[in-house]
A and B are shown apart, each in its own frame.
Chain A
Amino acid sequence: MKIVVCCKAVPGVVTEVRAEADGKALQYQGQFLAMNDCDESALEEAIVLKRAHGGEVTVLTMGPVTALDTLYMALAKGADRAVRVDAQLQDPQCSSVVLSAALKKLEYDLVLTGAQSRDTLSGQVGIAVAHRLGVPFAYAVVDVQVPDSSTVRVRKELGGGRYAHVELSLPALLCVQTGIQPLTYVPPARMMRARQQPVRSFSLADLGLEAEQLVPRGYRFVDVFQPRRSSRVEFLQGAPQEIAATLLTKIKEAL
């Protein structure tokens, strides 16, 4: 089975966030880029599926050269190939245009993505990619079974302790939740070897796209701000013992 995993490098810390003058994107300083957590879970699932059913795993990312580390990490974990699309986009629709164009250049039976990225928190890209590719999809997937070469059977979360079992014909796209597989540790030596492996690179032109097509439509950012803490929050300070005594009083009042 040929599996493509879409992995995104997301910043661990962001500062100086503001909307650009035309409101079409955000500017910010991001530090400590790392693979988005549910994308990493999707990658681990892909590697487990490959070991069980054969085939190959390609990891695909869209991002600047600083996103290469995410691909090396994926190769070190066991991906066979890595592809980077050289573009930086925040809008989910534009991202789905680029990723689906890249996927059309690759071979796949199954596409895995994380359910949501930690930076934009929109959870739209996977499903939008599936729509553009014309393949069935399932969201919040926590288990994948492959009964035969043309089908996957998944368990997906519905919330509140409910799950659905869904059967999809291949090719298909699955948006994966964290926890589907344990995360594997990558020893530094393997990471060093992974850095020697080639990474295929696509420009937008390689995908037949132009930057002008990839402008967010239909909305603009008005402003970005730190959410107010609830006006009710009262911060307790002092030595742990004092705080504990105050907390106990507050707990008793609430019961």
Chain B
Amino acid sequence: MRLARISILSGLLLFAMVGTLVAPGPAPSQAAGGTVTVAQGAEPATLDPFQEISRTGYNVTLHIYDPLFMRNDAGKIIPMLATGYKILNPTTWEFILRTGVKFHNGEPFDAAAVKFTLDRALLKDSPSNYLVDGVKDVRIVDPRTVQVTTADPMPLLLPNLMLLGIAPSHYYQAQGASYVATHPVGTGPYRFQSWVKDDRVTLVANHDYWGGVPNIESLVFRLIPDPAARVAAFRSGEADIITDFAPDLVSSIANDPRIKADVTTGTRSINIMLDTSTGPLRDKLVRQALNYAVDKDAIVKNILGGFGTVESTLVPAAYLGFSPLLRPYAYDPAKARALLAQAGYPNGFDIVFQSPRGRYLADAQVSQAVVGYLKAVGVNADLKYYEWGNFVNMYFKHQLGPIFLIGSGSAALDAADALENVSCDVWDSWYCNQGIQAIYVKAKATLDPDRRAALYREIQSLVYDEAPIIFMYTQKGIYGVNTRLNWTPRSDETLWLAKATLK
């Protein structure tokens, strides 16, 4: 008996020891006034501005590095490291640079840094190449003037440059890319302090910042991969801002006055691509039928909790060139059947449908819902899921199709990026219409934003009728924001805290 008691007691002793750690104390202290913690679901793989091109990465790096231009909260382009620009001719831009700016290590900012940055981004094996692809030459005119020549007129150069942080050429070349990846130096409002890999990046305010010292002294970017754990950290006050707030958890914070969910129009557009080169999908009527067959409102309401906007075009509303005139295809299964019959498929047909799983919000459920709607009009879709890495591999090998779900998003906020999916330019393309392509090429070379937007709208009206995709929705961006912070998220999904204040 004593023995059993001893055994149990030693087990209980362990619990007691744990218990002493538990002294219920005050809530884990709110970050001391002056520190704001942002929790994201992923962390940057590297702080090298050329290597890291994910949204979660930019959210960190754009505090350390300044680009030449940025958008303000109203969407207007504002000068950053460049104070202005001139378009000398359709293929030559001249950027006038800000003077008196230094990098965090004291190195002066000048045209050499800009040339170094652009040249490096242009390297074929640089992930940032997509931002400057089309630039032919970068020339230093004088320490505060840089001329950039493009092969063809490139209206997206300016918005694309908003994502390219300017790097210090001497520091970068002296230390090497590997070192810069973990010891970034830029001109930005925040300096790099420390990075505990897979845990958090800590930045401190740059007291010599040309744009004025930020109000918040320190920023911590934490990584909390699990969406529910992220919301838990938000509720407990450990995180002041969270990104990718799971829609089904938004209601869990309804009764807490200290925290709120902010919703933006979003830039992530989900669409179902159709391979129009084979089978029944060659017929426009079939493609339109598929659009009538799916109840997109129901999908947004029930699967996304209402946090989405049904689209009539694959261009999200926040983009330049968005066409507001088109009404989304209505949910009309009878009409879908009629169109299918008219096209010669009164009994529907069989087809393969590929979907990623876990890559986009509720992607698997959305695909399943779509399959259900298609079946109701006689189209039997064989749904296959793929892990994202495999899916991307198949995309690049053009092995996807005839139907697949994919998302797109762009920080340039220009319709060209979205419309590329229905141009002839994408990897042998799943849809190629010469008429639309001609307008697309013209639009891409039109520097004047209003004329470009008009061309984009023309394309969208044609695309709407041609229905080379099943138009689905744009996801709303949901952020959790603690009310002690004066900050609202932006529709272009750029998270920038340099001007934020604490109440």
Bound pair: A and B? no
